[in-house]
Structure 1
Amino acid sequence: MISVEGKPPGAPLSGASRWWVRLLPWGLAFVLCSALLPTTIKVLSADYGLNAGVASALAIPQAAPLLFAVVRPLRAWYVIFVADVAGALVLLTADFEARLLWPFPPMQIVGYIGLCVALGLRERGRTLILVWLATAAVNAGLMTVAPHGANGMTALLTILGGVTLLLTGALRERHEAQRRLAEQKTISEAERGRRTLLEERARIARELHDVVAHHMSVITVQADTAAYRLDRLTPEAREEFTSIAAAARESLGEMRRLLGVLRNEDAHGELAPQPGLSRIGQLVEATVRAGVPVEFTPCDADVPEAVGLSAYRIVQEALANVVRHAPGAPARVSVTAARDGSRLTVLVVNGPPPEPPTAPLESTGTGHGLVGMRERVRLADGTLDAGPLPDGGFRIAAQLPLTGKDLT
């Protein structure tokens, strides 16, 4: 017996969006069954000379299973195939004219072809081959006992059934290929969306580090040094400033951990926030208020937006590092454009701190600051030189080209 191998694939019309398209196979099956059932009874009784009761007993299993062949074609084939073979054997006992088809009358051929359409649209290739082999084998065996001799018409069901199974099977395979292609496209779009989300999270992580770390470091320094900068602070005020500094340090640590989760080292490209060269002076003023003397040489050159953003973030990160690692150390910030307009130079140099800090502002460091600088410089196709100085200070020098690349 031919068995169903796993879950059969869906028919091409089963997933249609319009309801009437999904109901179309049921309508065709109903029309075919309604037409074949009375016609088979009449032809078997009137033309082939069978008793009306016998004709009805054969016609019902030969035509009625077509109704559920839409969803269970292989089970319908079991019933119809056995009924057709039984009908051919019963016709051997009848006296009918040689002009009439045997072993399968025209109604049985039409119903069987309709069943083959359902099989081809629902079942796998191996099942279709087994169905055709069974049909051919039975047809060949019946031809040996043909009442009026074998002729070309006795193989009609085998030929038509094979062609129908082949064409509808090819149609189903095409439908399956298109469905898999659509699924793969959906998966690819989902992957692109996920990758875009990760890249966006990485950009947010870098911006989060650049912006929040700088300001939180300034808050920490201001809170820690308030007791030395402000006279006649009450014990309650000192305790409040100490609490603010502790909360700021804890926030810095939480932000570092969050950055480690969000950061994607393979992501490139940045968001396009507003800060540029004109905002660097505000960074310097905030750092001076935190107790770090800064000498600033501004630049009013007209540079691409991406270069201005990169210069702003580099200065921001460099000053934040001074506040964190060398509080109180004198610093010098210089932003200059080459006379030939080819590059922008960003220079941040700080000396050694007046005295080693009693406690670090952050207990652990992740090094994302310099990594972020290098990424920004690489985005602009520039160079970055960062390292300690012999006197204990630190120097950061970035060269950002202004020509030769679309930086906007």
Structure 2
Amino acid sequence: MTTSPPRAPHSAPPPGPPQPAADGLVSAARRNLREIAHGLSHPSHPPVPPLAGARKRWRRLLPYAVVLVLTAIFLPVTINVLTHEYELPDAVAGLLVVAQTGPLLMLAHRPLQAWWIIFPADVLGALVLLAYPEPPQGIWPWPPPTLICYFFVLLAVALRETRRTAVSVWALTAATSLVLHLAATDRSNGTSALLPALGAVFMVIGAVIRERGDAQRRLAEQETISEAERAQRTLLEERARIARELHDVVAHHMSVITVQADSAPYRISGLPEEACEEFAAIAASARESLTEMRRLLTVLRNDGTKGERAPQPGLDRVQQLVEATVRAGLPAELSLPARLPDMPQAVDVSAYRIVQEALANVIRHAPGALTRISVTADATHLTVLVVNDRARQPDSPLESSGTGHGLVGMRERVRLTGGTLDTGPLPGGGFRVAARLPLTAATPKDPEDS
């Protein structure tokens, strides 16, 4: 039995020379040509004038007034030049002038379409002038009115269209001027080079103005977004601050529960074993809840601050707050009930913070204004009223425009306790803050409803 010799493993053919990059260049050229053609045939803006969003009516009408003035100037001037200096027949001159200057009315809202009419009309006019004798002072291929009119067209295109489209318009203009110059060198006397040169200047000016306007619009949009984000951040910070204060309130109650549950077997004699075990379970659950609340507080204070270690203030310290405000130069009057009713600690803290923030707003925005603080209570609600008059000091306020951060905090505290808040300026000047807080446990209002 004979065996055939082993075959050599199949090997790939040696790599040939690298393929030329001509195909890639052709594809890129075709793609760019398609984009240029699309830009020249599709305007990059809606058919509205550039100042359509202005608040004042005269600014909205300004673009239309400008194009009307341009049309009223170039229409008779161009007819007069073509009929008297170039001696064209009235009918031919009239048709050319209508095509060359009539589309100026479109520059306010459709400059690219206007260019598509004016540019071929100007080229046709240059070709028509070749059929007539050259006048002594004649300029070809672009007569002076046609040249100046076309500068405004290029400016309008640069103001409204993209950079690619504006450059394409200028390139077609320059190429056409060169072709006309080469076609009749004896008639060409300078405007074939003047149009591309000065046209580039006008287009650069228009592009700079357009990009500056785009930058201002983007800046305004970013400022709007930043203001919304700042307001949201302020709201979250205020909620976190309120949550930290509530931690102190709830932690106090949980500590009381823990102490009572731990001490119940010693304070109450004769408790069965099951009751002692139940109290021990309650104490263990309370301690576990306190541990979880401390973890929550650590999350709320993850900004690197240690937080306040002093007890949270209440209405019993409003008198001290008002006295400190008076020493700071703000005249204030306080009305408090002789005996404050029993109230939830969250309501007590919220009432103090509302008075504190209201006084701070008066100091910032109406220095020297007489301020009246009134705290009243009935069987179900606690009412806090802070009213300030018009600023009496001639000095300017410390803050000319408020950020609204204080009002945000007030609303959050009132919503948390299930109360209502009414704020606003007074008819004769000044400001009013009125909060009505329930003295019994209430369900917090949803933020969407407040």
Using structure 2 for the length normalisation, give the TM-score: 0.49
**Cα 1:111/1:199, change in 2 over 3 Å:** same
Query: Which residue of 133, 142, 167 corresponds with 1:95?
Result: 133
Q: How far apart in 1 are the matches of 2:309 and 2:142?
A: 77
Whether 1:211 aligns to 2:249 is: yes
- The residue number in structure 1 matching 2:83 is 45
**Cα 1:136/1:155, change in 2 over 3 Å:** same
Q: What is the letter of the counterpart of residue 7 of structure 1?
A: S
Whether 1:136 aligns to 2:174 is: yes
Whether 1:202 aligns to 2:240 is: yes
Whether 1:185 aligns to 2:185 is: no
What's the CA shift for 1:264? 6.8
**Cα 1:267/1:159, change in 2 over 3 Å:** same
What's the CA shift for 1:196? 2.4
- The residue number in structure 2 matching 1:86 is 124
Q: How far apart in 1 are the matches of 2:215 and 2:69?
A: 31
- The residue number in structure 1 matching 2:205 is 167
**Cα 1:269/1:92, change in 2 over 3 Å:** farther
- The residue number in structure 1 matching 2:44 is 7
Is residue 139–residue 154 contact of structure 1 (8 Å, CA) maintained in 2?
Answer: yes
Provide structure 1 residue ranges, at least 5 long, that are not aligned to the other structure.
231-244, 280-408
Is residue 51–residue 59 contact of structure 2 (8 Å, CA) maintained in 1?
Answer: yes
- The residue number in structure 2 matching 1:21 is 59
Deviation string, structure 1 residues 34-93 (Cα, Å, up to 9, x no partner): 221233233222322222222222111211211121222111111111111111111111
Stretch moving more, 23-32 or 45-54: 45-54
Q: What is the letter of the counterpart of residue 265 of structure 1?
A: N
What's the CA shift for 1:167? 1.4
What's the CA shift for 1:165? 0.3
Q: How far apart in 1 are the matches of 2:310 and 2:106?
A: 64
Q: How far apart in 1 are the matches of 2:61 and 2:211?
A: 21
Q: What is the letter of the counterpart of residue 21 of structure 1?
A: R
**Cα 1:87/1:17, change in 2 over 3 Å:** same
Stretch moving more, 214-223 or 154-163: 214-223
Query: Which residue of 293, 312, 316 corresponds with 1:275?
Result: 312
Stretch moving more, 184-193 or 44-53: 184-193
**Cα 1:131/1:263, change in 2 over 3 Å:** same
Name which structure has the greater RCO, CA cutoff 8 Å, separation 6+. 1
Other structure's SS at 1:82 match = helix
What's the CA shift for 1:14? 5.2
Q: What is the letter of the counterpart of residue 141 of structure 1?
A: V
Whether 1:31 aligns to 2:31 is: no
CA RMSD of aligned residues (A): 4.2
What's the CA shift for 1:97? 0.2
Is residue 198–residue 264 contact of structure 1 (8 Å, CA) maintained in 2?
Answer: no
What's the CA shift for 1:31? 0.7
Is residue 13–residue 22 contact of structure 1 (8 Å, CA) maintained in 2?
Answer: yes
Query: Which residue of 55, 61, 73 corresponds with 2:111?
Result: 73
- Percent sequence identity over aligned pairs: 48
Is residue 140–residue 189 contact of structure 2 (8 Å, CA) maintained in 1?
Answer: no
**Cα 1:105/1:145, change in 2 over 3 Å:** same
- The residue number in structure 2 matching 1:307 is none
Q: How far apart in 2 are the matches of 1:273 and 1:75?
A: 73
Q: How far apart in 1 are the matches of 2:238 and 2:306?
A: 9
Is residue 83–residue 93 contact of structure 2 (8 Å, CA) maintained in 1?
Answer: yes
Is residue 99–residue 121 contact of structure 2 (8 Å, CA) maintained in 1?
Answer: yes
Q: How far apart in 2 are the matches of 1:184 and 1:208?
A: 36
How many residues of Structure 1 are paired with residues of Structure 2 in the alignment? 265
Other structure's SS at 2:44 match = coil
What's the CA shift for 1:26? 1.6
Provide structure 2 residue ranges, at least 5 long, that are not aligned to the other structure.
1-35, 269-281, 317-450
Deviation string, structure 1 residues 244-285 (Cα, Å, up to 9, x no partner): x9xxx9xx99x97xx79x9473474758997369x9xxxxxx
Is residue 50–residue 63 contact of structure 2 (8 Å, CA) maintained in 1?
Answer: no
What's the CA shift for 1:169? 0.8
Q: What is the letter of the counterpart of residue 95 of structure 1?
A: P
Whether 1:57 aligns to 2:95 is: yes
What's the CA shift for 1:110? 1.9
Q: How far apart in 1 are the matches of 2:236 and 2:307?
A: 13
- The residue number in structure 1 matching 2:148 is 110
Q: How far apart in 1 are the matches of 2:310 and 2:97?
A: 79
Deviation string, structure 1 residues 222-247 (Cα, Å, up to 9, x no partner): 79999x989xxxxxxxxxxxxxx9xx
